[in-house]
Structure formats: structure tokens, C-alpha cells
Amino acid sequence: MEAEEFLLVRDLFRSFAGRFRIGSADEVKPSARAAAQQALAELGLGELRRSSPPAATVQECALLAEEHGRQPLTTSLLGTVLLAPELLRILGADRRSVSGTTPTVALARDLRLPGADTSELVAWDCEGADSALRVTPDGAVTQAELGPLAPSADLLRGIRTVRSPQRIIGRLDAPGHQHWQAYALVMVSGELVGAARAFVEQSVAYARERRQYGQAIGEFQAVQHLLADATVALEACVSATRYAAWCLDNEPPERALTAARVAKAEVNRSTVEAVQAGMQVFGGIAQTWEHIAHLYLRKVLLGATVLATTADLLVPLAEPEVTR
């Protein structure tokens, strides 16, 4: 995609996000979810990675994931628009071989990458989806129907149970499996970075306006240091995530997977700390149901466990790299 064309896509998405952002938890309703998802589908972003070669680079998709994270949206961008289409593209599956029209991805019940056990799976980020695709540890890709809604701490993201049995629709080779894992880690990391950066920016704006003892709280060094540390940590997350996205476009899959693991490990820790710092700046108002702060906090707390926790990622990162 040409740079000018991507800017148009990004601006179009920003316009969409401004229209459908949630102002409070009370606005999270099924009718609002459905309307927003329908509007997102009409943007045609699901086609960005369907073709070979794709119309958009991984770097461009990661930037869209960041934009989606910046606003409290109930739409499924990652699951149905970015992750499932990319999985089908790598698999080389014809759409006719996939029953239904809009799949999302299936994860383990704790939202990590699925293991060998198929008894408890959930369809993650499933608004507008009609099936779920699961990747087994050996690279097999299965499809299953969706069950009822499952409880989730993230009020913005829909999660459903996955029914049995599952139908095998193909198998990823080793490089394809590595690419898929790296791509998924990068997209989730990008959204978390976008959410945390947006919330810290809101915290900075609030610190300029909120006055105590006759002056803005942003003039107090303790508040300044808190927000400065959060900003620096998030800039490191941005660099790591965007580098991992670049690797997916330009480097072998195994190197891209290493970069993606590094990015997600850093993002898991720093985005939670950054949002918690913002919560301190907002003070008591951030602890209320009516304020938007808890929607961001829920997103990053849960997102830090999606696909892989930092502890999960440090194990393969500690293994010596095989050189050829």
C-alpha cells in the first residue's frame, strides 16, 4: 500500500473510531456492538491481508491495531479483521473451504495460545464472528462453531465458548506457524500500546486542568515523574512492537517471532504499569463505574495475559539462538 493510501485508510478508521467510541461502561450494549461492527465491516479492512501478496504490510496493520486500542471500542478488529484473515492467508485456504463468512480465533480458556487440550476453548474478540479457528501446537488449523457468551473482565471485547467437534481445514508448516504466532503477538501488542498511550495522554491533560492547593497537579514533581516514567516506558514498547512488525515484513519467521516475543514481554509489563500510573493521576474519580478509566485498565490487564504472559515468553527467549 502506498504511503498516501495508508494515510487515507488510517484517517478513515480514525473517523470511524470517533463515531463509535464508548463514553462509559453503560453504553456497552448489544445493539451498539452490532451497529459498530457492521460499520467496521463496511470499511473493508478485512481485505487488507487476504490476498497474496497482501495489500497492506504488517507494519500498517500494527498501526491500525494501535489506533483501535486508543479508543474504547466494542468492535472486533483483531480477531475477525486482522488475525483470522491472516491465518487463512498463510494456510492458503480458499474461503469456500471455510464454513460461514466471518471467523475469529480460538484461544485456551485462559486466553493463551491453545495447547493440545481441546476441551476448553473460547472464541476471542468475536463480535460479528460465526466460527473460530484454532491453531494446534503442531500447526493443524481447525474450525468450530461458537457457543454462548463467556464472562470476561474486558467489558469491550466479546468472548464466546467454542463447541465441539472441530473440523480440520489445513496445516501450517513450521515457518508459517512461526509467522502466525509472531503476527498475533504483534497485533495484540500494538493494540495494548495504543490503549496505554491514549490513557496516559488523557492523564497528562487531566493533570494540567485538575487543581489542588491553588495550582494544577501537573506542577507537582511527583505527578510529573509518574507520567514521565510511564511515557518513557511506552516509547520503548512502541519501538519494540514496530520493530517486530518490520521484522515480519523483512526478516525470516524465526527472527520475527523472537522480536515479537520480546515486544509482547515488554508490553505486558509496561502498559499495565503506565495505565496504573494514569489511574493514580486521576485519583478517586478513576475508581468509579462512570469514568472511562476502568475500561482501559481492564483492556490492558487482560491483554497482558492474551496469547502469552511475560513468564511464558521469557522461557523461549532464554534458549540459545540456533545459528546457521
Integer-rounded Cα Rg, in Å, for the chain is 20
Paired with 121 in beta bridges are: 108
Whole-structure pTM value: 0.94
Confidence of residue 53 (pLDDT cuts 50, 70, 90): confident
pLDDT of residue 149: 93
Helical (H) or strand (E) element with 170:
strand 167-171
pLDDT of residue 97: 57
Strands (E), the chain: 103-108, 121-124, 131-135, 140-149, 159-162, 167-171, 211-212, 215-216
3-class DSSP assignment, residue 148: strand
Paired with 134 in beta bridges are: 142
Confidence of residue 323 (pLDDT cuts 50, 70, 90): low
Cα 236 vs. chain centroid, distance in angstroms? 17
Assess if CATH 1.20.140.10 describes domain 176-318.
yes
Cα 245 vs. chain centroid, distance in angstroms? 13
Least confident piece of the model among 56-60, 209-213, 277-281, 301-305: 209-213
Confidence of residue 94 (pLDDT cuts 50, 70, 90): low
Domain borders along the chain are: 176-318
Paired with 212 in beta bridges are: 215
pLDDT of residue 264: 98
Average pLDDT across the chain, whole number: 93
| Distance (Å) of CA 25 to CA 28, 73, 159, 278 | 6, 11, 17, 18
% of the chain with per-residue pLDDT over 90: 83
Cell numbers at residue 124, please? Answer: 476471542
pLDDT of residue 116: 79
Asked whether 134 and 116 are in contact (CB, 8 A), the reply is no
pLDDT of residue 3: 82
